Amino acid sequence: MVAITVILAAVIAAFVLDMGSGQSANAQAGIQYEEGATDGEVTITVTAVERADGLTIDADDCGALGGGAGGTTSLEANAGASKTVTCGSSGTIQVLGEYDGSESVISTYDYDDS
């Protein structure tokens, strides 16, 4: 009976102690979107940053992101940072976050000015 208890305790301990290894945390930040008075204008504001080394705005139909239609631009990973982009009549904007060398989608916003 004692041997079974010891073996069971060892198996449970090995499972619990090994459970967190190999898992990485994703970037986390609060993002707010606000459509402007001008058609296609969207302001992206960082409301909070839990963990993020950097943020990137990725949009499929926003010409003000560094040349041409669509593209990416950086956004400061600090609460209060904001950037206004001018987009087409409808599309999707994503904010990507990087943390510990891994990139993940933090937020997605679908807009439609039509």
pLDDT tens per residue across all 114 residues of the chain: 556 665 666 666 666 666 555 567 889 999 999 988 777 788 999 999 999 999 999 887 675 554 445 678 889 999 999 998 888 777 889 999 999 989 999 999 988 876
Q: Are strands 102-112 and 71-75 parallel, antiparallel or unpaired?
A: unpaired
Q: Which CATH class is domain 25-112?
A: mainly beta
Output the pLDDT for position 37. Answer: 79
> How much is the pTM?
0.72
What three-state secondary structure class fits 6?
helix
Output the pLDDT for position 4. Answer: 66
